[in-house]
Amino acid sequence: MKKILTLALLVVTLQAQAQDSAPTSPKTPIGGRPNIPNDFSIEFGFGQLTNRPADIALNFFGSRSFSVFYQKPFKIFGEQSGFVLSPGIGIATNKFAFKDDQNLFRSSTLGAESSVLKKVSSVYGTNIEVKTNNLAANYVEVPIDLQYNVNKKDYSKSFRVSLGARVGYLYQSNTKVSFDSPATGAVKVKQSENYGLEKIRYGLNFKAGSPGFYVWSTYYLNPMWKADRGPFKTEANQISFGLAIGLF
């Protein structure tokens, strides 16, 4: 989360510097959103797993997604065609909260870069009270979207829809568990490992809304775990969806 906020602050600072050096100030459309020819957005939402065995179930509200993307739109097929191609870069964090106080642990038989799903109490003690329990997977992602604007004369005030693709690289993953125990008191355990997760993920993305607010959904086509390296040897796919705010 800190890395995502740092990236957001950096992009805003660079954009502010670019505005100061420009000979004229950009116009501001209705709603106070600067009419800058770039898209900087923050996406909030939830994540789930598809094509999974029944033994792997997620807590819906505990499985969240948070992403920051910076994209550069390019008009294609003419100035008023309505079509825009938007490549970019960003950082995405997915948190997965498994049901029944379960989480990932390294497989004792497979070794490094593997995982099994266990109850937290079976590892840290049966008399603990679990407070926090999740898996975080953090990615650098490169999106590219083909966008269509209904208002062909002014894209900054137009309803828009887009279809796109995203490719992500897993740069860090960890489990986080906090619990209270009569023997040890409050304990927090953060374990950084690969857990058999695929380093590369790629998927399809859909967006619909205005420049300042939209809904989105991303379905990742490749499995979340490497073959036979995840819990129950599953190859479950990720799907995320939610709302987003376009800052400029």
Q: Which residues pair with 56 in a beta bridge?
A: none
Q: What is the pLDDT of residues 34-80, one digit of tens each?
A: 444 568 899 999 999 999 888 899 999 999 999 999 999 999 998 88
Q: Is residue 210 included in any domain, yes or no?
A: yes
User: Once rounded to an integer, what is the mean pLDDT over residues 207-227?
Assistant: 95
Is residue 218 within a helix (H) or strand (E), and if so which, with residue range? strand 213-220
* HSE, side-chain direction, 13 A CA sphere, residue 175: 23
With a threshold of 0.85, does the pTM exceed it? no
Residue 48 CA to residue 194 CA, distance in Å, equals: 19
Whether the Cβ atoms of residue 203 and residue 241 lie closer than 8 Å to each other: no
Q: What is the pLDDT of residues 189-199, one digit of tens each?
A: 999 999 999 99
User: Once rounded to an integer, what is the mean pLDDT over residues 171-193?
Assistant: 93
User: Once rounded to an integer, what is the mean pLDDT over residues 133-146?
Assistant: 97
Q: Is residue 21 included in any domain, yes or no?
A: no
Per-residue pLDDT at 200: 97
Q: Is residue 107 included in any domain, yes or no?
A: yes
Per-residue pLDDT at 151: 92
Structural domain count of the chain: 1
Over 90: is that where the pLDDT of 221 sits?
Answer: yes
Q: Is residue 154 included in any domain, yes or no?
A: yes
Q: Is residue 137 included in any domain, yes or no?
A: yes
Q: Which domain holds residue 47?
A: 2-10+34-246
Q: Is residue 16 included in any domain, yes or no?
A: no
Q: Is residue 204 included in any domain, yes or no?
A: yes
